[in-house]
Chains A and B, each alone.
Chain A
Amino acid sequence: MSEVNLRKVVKLFEGGVQAVRGIDLEIADHEFCVLVGPSGCGKSTTLRMIAGLEEVSEGEIWIGGTMVNDIPPKDRDIAMVFQNYALYPHMTVFENMAFGLKLRHFPKDEIKRRVDRAASILSIGELLDRKPKALSGGQRQRVAMGRAIVRDPKVFLFDEPLSNLDAKLRVQMRTEIKKVHQAVKTTTIYVTHDQVEAMTLADRVVVMNHGVIEQVGPPNELYHHPATIFVAGFIGSPAMNFIPARLVNAAGALTIQLGQGLSVPVPADRTARYAPHASKKLLFGIRPEHLTETTRTDKQNLAPITVDLDVIEPMGMETLVHFRIEGTPVCARVDPAAGAQAGAPMRLAAHMDQMHLIDADTGRVL
């Protein structure tokens, strides 16, 4: 049993800065949980409190059924992988991986067995005699992971482990980390500011902002059903468009008015949900991938809009087009063959079953 529970955890730094403002989180055994958010949102501080590298100001942290607030890092049975690898520069790869086991007085043959097993999982068997400075960034990161694996701890903690790698290697190591988790199944808490990493790796994603949890859920739930404007804007790339809107009730049918003469109908199944909010200041949220050329799909609930394109960005597999609705910049994703041209008008379709309506004052998705 190696679940991790956070109960009303608060971190107050000297000078009164509240980095974490009372978060509750339950991470199940074997789960891969990713904490994601912009810098300064408290995700790393939360991880460091779980590791025991920062004291908990208020609240409780439980690992595997034990309250660990006052237990030093070494006795928490956790292993951590750092952003800059933190390999011991004077030790070989083998010694780096064996260090934790040696300090715990494991027998020599057991140390060798564990290091060899981790090395084969990570394909670093031939590097065991090298010093860290003779390794590439990706290899160093593997060794850092190996150092965690050999300990066979209750929980793996990853603190932005891929941030120091180049884009290509990052994608490769991401797959590698997922593979390792599938092989060893240890409960994992992973901190990143990269939402793509969060989406691809996590069983559950925890989106943090300003020291609080905005939303917790599986990646697809966060993508399709964001709870707040922050989550809606943070998850997905390019980010969701937010256009100031008004709800208009015309002859019993609700429509969303985006500007002069530009309105889209509310899907029938959402009419009852949105009707009470007609008087509020609202934002119409739609992802670029749900604003497409009209010929692309024959799905229902498509609302046609015609816009004047400002900029087009061909990406190969798709083309991003930028335009403005009442001064608000909007991005759409269209087929490269759709014939988008800068400065020319284009007819687009908004996929209304994928839209979101957001209360502009509270930031809640309605």
Chain B
Amino acid sequence: MSEWWTYRAEDFLLFSPRVYWRMFELHNAALWPLHLLTLAASLIIILLIAWRPRSWVRWLALILAIAWVFVGWSFLWHRYATINWAVAYVAPAFAVEGVLLLIVSLRDGLAFDRRGLAGWIGYLILAFALAGQPLLAPLQGRNWASSEVFGIAPDPTAIATLGVLLLARGRLLPVLLPIPVLWCLLSGLTLGTMGEPQAWALHATLALATAAWIWTIIRQRAVS
């Protein structure tokens, strides 16, 4: 596209807020009662983190891997891409993140023993993704039916993953982070361009996560 610098974010917004939120209503209606399964998965994530049984990392990564692949296929590819052609190029990234998480699951590639500020921020972000994000629809005057739920919608799935990764250490961490971060940036930009206050949730998540990672790096350098 020529003279790309003359384009604003609004020029790439292809749909109205009404169409965007109705898309979640239709998606939720089409998948119900799968929400009960993803709710159970959310509870299992919390229980795994709280009790830390043997090989819990494997199961945690497996749940997230399934969620990423499913959301990429069902929501991005089959629904969102119908109103936003650019999403057809983004959906495969969700499959890639799912495969990466699957590799982590098979190899036990992460250790979840992070403590301190980063850990607490991780818990906070995770709690928001699983319990807070679905409440944003009614809190903003929209129908419950348009709520965004972990494992069904992309934003809570990406935010929950960032929360989990903030609790983790390991060599595979740098390859797991970019896709959730980029999705949060993209989705936040889309919501902001639509004038939706909900954009702050994604911006705040990224700001908190970045602050936590910077804090962790500073602490690690101070110790070493």
Q: Do A and B bind each other?
A: no
